[in-house]
Chains A and B, each alone.
Chain A
């Protein structure tokens, strides 16, 4: 009689441990900060106009060039007053473009590695 109960308890504990693996627990900015990771690639740079002046407020969009393409987070990322922008993405090969008003610049290709930062200057006509 005791053995089945003990086995059942062991099985329950095992199942709870198994169930905890990969479980999505709620977390918030009130909790201790989770360790920040270095697995993403960072792509940063400056958007400039034809005169080489920084462009404020250009929408900077990546497009995956991998095959199959990597999904891209659909954040709105704009260049700042100094023309700088920053994207954090899965490591891979991307084409970046900058758009402002009715102007879209030529695409610039970059290969971004995990934990590395790639610099890409983007141009607006």
Chain B
């Protein structure tokens, strides 16, 4: 695909400019700031900035969300000690820290995803708001190659905090992914999302995102989400990109089952090109594999355009 694009561009048959931006979305200018240029390739960077939202609403139903009473029971693991229980995706000592409260940004734009099976609702995955009504997550959180889409089984709780749900919950109008995951089953393409039946993102805000063809090695990474060993609490850990492949990023952030779908994001100063604020680089999806790092599909130009079109 890269070869094809390059050849087409050389022939002057297509534009190399990014396409597919949603109405009202302002793309950062393509540039090469902070990127080493080579004679052979001019590298690009493009993105959208995060939006911090308007804070805790007096009534979540004004955004189409459902109120969730404190103490609403989501079945799941509870750890009196909170100790590491031996999962290999905690790399070294467990460095995770609880996020509490969860009503500041980006905690409130970080989404607990539950799945209900046979009438029992349990913690399933994490997602991140990427628009007023769009949550992004891992592909395997919305589609399973053996059983299909999780249609009608998922519920989304932005900023859930243990047994309190300051932004209520929403359900999915449409589950989304890409054929690289649903047809090819490629771990490199394991990303997806859900268009919600609410516009709660207007109050929670949403993460930004950007793509670059430059190496991201050494870029700081933060993952905050809902690990399965922490009773629907939000936990955070920071590290850096250890290996950046063209379709996948590898990092040593401590994660546990349930963190799938978290934003792997970095913080960029106001005015940064492409994206400023909380800027997603990848979709967290996998615990330790080859190379002894955790990993997730990298946001590339085509993926950025695709998910932007889901807004």
Q: Which residues of A contact B (CB under 8 A)?
A: 8, 11-12, 15-16, 18-19, 21-30, 33-40, 42, 56-59, 61, 63-64, 68-78, 80-81, 88, 97, 99-102, 104
With beta carbons under 8 angstroms apart, the residue of A28, A71, A99 that contacts B229 is: A99
Cβ B286 vs Cβ A73 within 8 A: yes
Evaluate whether A34 and B151 lie within 8 angstroms (CB atoms) in the complex, with A22-B1, A76-B122 already known.
Answer: no
Q: Which of A64, A75, A88 has most chain B Cβ within 10 Å?
A: A75
Contacts of A16 in B (CB 8 A): 4
Apart from A29-B151, A68-B292: 8 A-B pairs, beta carbons within 8 A: A22-B184, A26-B176, A29-B142, A29-B176, A36-B148, A80-B118, A101-B77, A101-B78
Question: Would A26 and B306 count as touching, CB distance under 8 A?
Answer: yes
Contacts A71-B287, A71-B290, A88-B144 hold; do A59 and B257 have CB atoms under 8 A apart? yes
> Which residues of chain A are within 8 angstroms of B71 by Cβ–Cβ distance?
none
Of B40-48, B52-60, B86-94, the segment with at least 4 beta carbons within 8 Å of chain A is: B86-94
26 A-B residue pairs with Cβ-Cβ distance under 8 Å, sorted by A, are A12-B8, A12-B11, A19-B1, A22-B180, A23-B1, A23-B179, A23-B302, A26-B177, A26-B309, A26-B310, A27-B182, A28-B175, A29-B174, A34-B182, A39-B185, A59-B229, A61-B256, A71-B286, A71-B290, A74-B284, A75-B140, A76-B257, A78-B77, A88-B146, A101-B80, A102-B83
- Residues of chain B with a CB closer than 8 A to A75's CB: 124-125, 140-141, 257-258, 260
- Asked if B285 and A73 make an inter-chain contact with CB atoms under 8 angstroms apart, the answer reads yes
Chain A residues within an 8 Å CB radius of B290: 68-71
A82's closest neighbor in chain B, by CB?
A: B118
A-B pair number, CB within 8 angstroms: 200
In the A-B complex, the 10 residue pairs with the smallest Cβ-Cβ separation, listed nearest first, are A71-B289, A76-B228, A76-B258, A71-B286, A24-B180, A19-B4, A74-B260, A24-B178, A68-B290, A29-B149
> Within 8 Å CB of A37, what residues of B?
145-146, 185
Contact of B1 among A21, A34, A69 (CB under 8 A): A21
Given contacts A15-B4, A22-B1, A57-B76, whether A71 and B122 have CB atoms under 8 Å apart is no
Given contacts A33-B148, A76-B125, contact A68 B81 (CB under 8 A): no
Whole-angstrom distance between the alpha carbons of A68 and B1 in the complex? 29
Contacts known (A12-B8, A71-B288, A74-B256); A40 close to B89, Cβ less than 8 A = no
Distance in angstroms between the alpha carbons of A33 and B149 in the assembled complex: 8
Q: How many residues in B have their beta carbons less than 8 Å from beta carbons of A?
A: 81
Interface-centre pick from A8, A15, A56, A57 (highest chain B CB count, 10 A) = A15
> A11 CA to B12 CA in the complex, in Å?
12
Q: Decide: B146 and A40 in contact? CB cutoff 8 A.
A: yes
Q: Note all chain A residues with C-beta closer than 8 A to B4.
A: 15-16, 18-19
Which of A42, A61, A104 has most B Cβ within 10 Å? Answer: A61
Residue interface bits B141-157, CB-to-A below 8 A is 1, else 0: 11111111101000000
- In the complex the two chains form, is B287's CB within 8 Å of A72's CB? yes
B120 interface hit (Cβ, 8 Å) = yes
A80 to B182, CA, bound (A): 26
Q: What is the minimal beta-carbon distance from A77 to any residue of chain B, in angstroms? A: 7
Contact status A58-B77, CB under 8 Å: yes
B209-267 interface with A by 8 A CB criterion: 226-229, 255-260
Quote the shortest CB–CB distance from B61 to chain A (angstroms): 25
Docked pose: A29 CA to B147 CA in angstroms: 13
Once A12-B13, A33-B149 are accepted as A-B contacts, the answer to whether A74 and B175 lie under 8 Å apart by CB is no
Any A CB within 8 A of the CB of B295: yes
B10-68 with Cβ < 8 A to chain A = 11, 13
